[in-house]
Amino acid sequence: MDKELLKKAFREYKKAAGLDYAITRPDNLGDCMSCVNYALSKKYGEESKGIWAKHWNTGLNGSGDLSSAKSVWIAHDITEEQAETLYEVFGKYYNMTPSAYDPNRCFTLYEKDTKVYKVSYTGTWNGNPRKYEDTYAGFERAKDRMDFLVELVDKGDPEIKDITINRIF
HEC string for 123-165: EEECCEEEEEEEEEECHHHHHHHHHHHHHHHHCCCCCCEEEEE
Which range marks the domain in which residue 92 is found? 3-111
Which of 64, 89, 111 is the last residue before a domain boundary?
Answer: 111
**pLDDT, greater one: 144 or 57:** 144
Residue 127 and residue 107 in one domain: no
Q: Are residues 63 and 22 in the same domain?
A: yes
Q: Is the domain of 98 the same as that of 17?
A: yes
Is residue 99 located within the same domain as residue 60? yes
Contact (CB, 8 A) for 134 and 116: no
40 or 64: whose pLDDT is higher?
40
The CA distance from 10 to 161, in Å, is: 39
Task: Specify whether 89 is located in the same domain as 37.
Answer: yes
Report the domain count for the chain: 2
Segment 15-41, tens digit of pLDDT: 999 999 999 888 788 877 788 889 999
Together in a domain, 68 and 133: no
